Structure 1
């Protein structure tokens, strides 16, 4: 059974989300503050984390940063703010999705199910991918650069895997998005993809400002440049 961790301080919203989430058959743990979240997280054995950005004693972004130090679990942000800077910040620090209030429960559950489904789809029986001194151990979901383990978010991991499985092939933004997100989830756009690629480059490139592995092909898209 999938386990979900919800950090939200609005009781009425908690009640609605709890009902919808448990109705889908998921287990749910809840915290209402940053302090409670630190205690509830404990072993961190969750399949999905939902974080409200504004909390009584801090910010959901702070919780996300702590989680990303030890886990690649998918993270969705909830917020009343829809400023582009907030969205970019949430994705940049390791979030995988972002939904603004108010929202319909059916739409929200669709996003949860899609994110869990995408995460599961990347668990396969192949052994590993290897290119440009980058190694992806697929069974473990781990990535190594020059034999040193990298800490990637779920979104970064999926993007890297897609590139390495299509080395030396130019992929358009539309092709990449169609592989990483369901085709009916039109809330994801090219700006989001740009953030993911920039963030991934900072982790896998020797010089992120002069990338050699993930190459931008002008007016066409991106490709994984295999030179091993």
Structure 2
């Protein structure tokens, strides 16, 4: 198996060198860019499996770079944030970062998180994406406009992650999807354990599409397995 290629976008030379050396010692290929301009140049010249992105950078901020990367690619992104910058972590996860690590951080923990993200990125896709609208129990899912309409044709607001998960369910009805598979179709990030991250999104989604979220029948929990979408889904 080829070594994973990691791009570190960090302007602090000492932190960047420490990260690069630690990743190389762990069997990965690591390169450094000090700002967004250097990151763009690196990514034009090479392909990478994951980006470590500092929030505080000279010029374009890490949050802006994260947003740009997510529009163009599904590459896993780990953000480095200051310990007291909770808003940066929240915004970073919402705009597409897959995980965050606060400074000062444990290099061993960071490498473990990186390996976890790389494993999830390597999971087989849940199915080739389709662009046709999908209907279940009177609900309509529009993958192109990324909108959900209830049986009365009223639009129902979903977060990015909720829509990603619902779309995965609709494309795989009757199949048990693990939490790792569901995490793989979102850019939800690991603000906590995988179980908590996905379960929170599932809970919110149930509140919007189930008749009784406390006794769900459309999104069933499969003990020790994950979740299964029980509704019949048709392309329209």
Structure-1-length-normalised TM-score:
0.65
The 1-side partners of 2:174 and 2:9 are apart by 42
Cα distance in structure 2, aligned partners of 1:51 and 1:64? 8
Please point out which of 18, 40, 43 is paired with 2:42: 40
| Mapping of residues 132-211 of structure 1, within 5 Å | 133=133, 159=165, 163-164=169-170, 167=173, 176=179, 180=183, 187-188=192-193, 192-193=197-198
Q: Provide the C-alpha distance between the structure 2 equivalents of 1:211 and 1:132, rounded to a whole number of angstroms.
A: 22
Alpha-carbon distance between aligned partners in 2 of 1:195 and 1:57, rounded to the nearest angstrom: 35
Over the aligned positions, Cα root-mean-square deviation in angstroms equals: 4.2
Pairs within 5 Å for 1:56-135 = 56-122=58-124, 128=128, 133=133
Q: 1:179 to 1:62 in 2, by over 3 A?
A: closer
Structure 2 residue 206 is matched with structure 1 residue 219: no
Q: Measure the CA separation in 2 of the matches of 1:123 and 1:32.
A: 33
CA distance in 1 between partners of 2:19 and 2:26 (Å): 11
For the structure 1 residues 115 and 88, does the alpha-carbon distance in structure 2 shift closer, same or farther, using more than 3 Å as the test?
Answer: same
Q: Distance in 1 between matches of 2:11 and 2:90?
A: 23
**Runs of 5+ in structure 2 lacking a partner?**
135-141, 147-160, 185-189, 220-228
* Distance in structure 1 (CA, Å) of the matches to 2:199 and 2:88: 15
- Structure 1 residue aligned with 2:54: 52
Question: What's the TM-score once normalised by structure 2's chain length?
Answer: 0.63
List alignment gaps of at least 5 residues for structure 1: 135-144, 202-209
- How many equivalent pairs are there? 194
Give the deviation of 1:45 after TM superposition. Answer: 2.0
- Alpha-carbon distance between aligned partners in 2 of 1:82 and 1:220, rounded to the nearest angstrom: 39
Q: Say whether the 8 Å CA contact 1:92–1:195 is kept in structure 2.
A: no
Cα gap change, 1:227/1:103 in structure 2, threshold over 3 Å: closer, same or farther? same
